Amino acid sequence: MGEDLLGYLLNVVDEQERRRIEAALVRDSQLRRQFETLRQQFSSHDTSSVAEPPPGLAEQTCDLVHGYQQLQRQRAVEARESCNSGSRRFWSIVDAMTFTGLILVAATLFLPAIANSWFRSDILGCQRNLQRLGIALYEFSDFNERLFPKIPVSGNRAAAGIYGPILYHAGYLDDPQVIVCPSSSLAADATDWRIPTFRELDEATGLELERLRRRMGGSYGYVLGYVLNRRHFPPKNAGRSFYALMSDAPSMHLPGRHSSNHLGRGHNVLYEDGRVEFISRRAEPRLYKPLFVNRLGFAEAGADENDYVIGGSWMPPVRRAMLVR
């Protein structure tokens, strides 16, 4: 099955074979883990540094292969003549080294390009998800005085990921898989994951509550709102081009809380005007406001109505001490 998974990974299988492999991945959790391991190993090359090939490289490679094929035909003719004369001939060391060199050249040329294509495909899939989430958020605001979903400041629902159950159970999202980034670790176990109900959240305690909070927002983070006069408010839809509503979820173990989605190289961001942009980890400190802390440097709700902070699914919007009692 390993060769089948590799073919599926490289998208070189036919439609019938693709459906067979996808059905097997749905049934077999061990096979899904094997596929995720293979995908991560394949994606471990730093595709962000892949350079564009020089002009004519493909043609030169094909000419090289064609020349080698002609050489092999000539050697085959010579071999048949040798056999007819009663002698035998085998590949020389030079033949083997030439063939091995061709394989290495092909791998060097094409595997990074394939890996880069896979990386960009995941980014585009993630952007499509965020665009659909943006539509759901705008529809929600249309029926709620232009306000986006509010995160409670207390109780079991007081975590950024509550946006998921709110949108899904109110009918604004028809597919829960939309909140799973195809490049996240959650994507490997997406068939075993679902958005919890409000009742499940309200009745959960301890470790079970923590687990539900961490998973209810999928692999995306949601804006934490802002605090004004020691009161917490959700953002209002004003179509701002600079205001981030959602992004790939922050990761506590990476510097700057950068998302581990997309191999930690950057994150897709959904802005209030509907635009989705991929921001490189290298570009953010120079060109963009940090996503995961407010202007005071804290990982909590914004310090004013134009100060956005994206929180992971598990994060409460504020510290209770900040609010009016």
How do residues 207-229 score in pLDDT, each as one tens digit? 999 999 999 999 999 999 999 98
Q: Checking DSSP bridges between strand 266-271 and strand 276-280, what pairing results, if any? A: antiparallel
Strand order in the sheet with 310-311: 276-280, 266-271, 244-248, 220-223, 310-311
Query: Which is more confident, 20 or 11?
Result: 20
Contacts 24+ apart (CB under 8 A), 136-141: 136/167, 136/172, 136/173, 137/163, 137/167, 137/172, 137/237, 137/245, 137/246, 138/237, 138/274, 139/172, 140/166, 140/167, 140/170, 140/172, 141/236, 141/237
DSSP letter, residue 74: H
How do residues 72-109 score in pLDDT, each as one tens digit? 667 666 666 655 655 444 556 656 666 666 666 555 55
Domain ranges (residues) in the chain? 2-42, 125-322
Q: Which of 199, 210, 231 is nearest to 313 (CA)?
A: 210
How do residues 274-306 score in pLDDT, each as one tens digit? 999 998 877 766 667 889 999 999 999 999 999
Model pLDDT, residue 281: 78
Q: How confident is the model at residue 137 (pLDDT cuts 50, 70, 90)?
A: very high
Rounded to two decimals, what is the model's pTM?
0.66
Instruction: Give the number of other Cβ atoms within 10 Å of residue 44's Cβ.
Output: 10
Phi, psi of 270 (to 5 degrees): -100, 120
Q: How far apart are the first and last CA of the chain?
A: 60
Q: How confident is the model at residue 21 (pLDDT cuts 50, 70, 90)?
A: confident
Query: Which is more confident, 78 or 273?
Result: 273
Query: Which is more confident, 9 or 168?
Result: 168
How do residues 51-72 score in pLDDT, each as one tens digit? 445 555 556 656 655 666 666 6
Helices (H), the chain: 2-9, 15-27, 29-43, 57-84, 93-142, 163-169, 198-203, 206-215, 284-287
Model pLDDT, residue 264: 81
**CA 159 – CA 214 distance, rounded (Å):** 9
Helices (H) and strands (E) in the chain, counts: 9, 7
Q: How confident is the model at residue 50 (pLDDT cuts 50, 70, 90)?
A: very low
Q: How confident is the model at residue 134 (pLDDT cuts 50, 70, 90)?
A: very high
Average pLDDT, whole number, for the chain?
A: 79
Q: Is 238 helix (H, G, I), strand (E, B) or coil?
A: coil
How do residues 182-204 score in pLDDT, each as one tens digit? 888 888 776 778 999 999 999 99
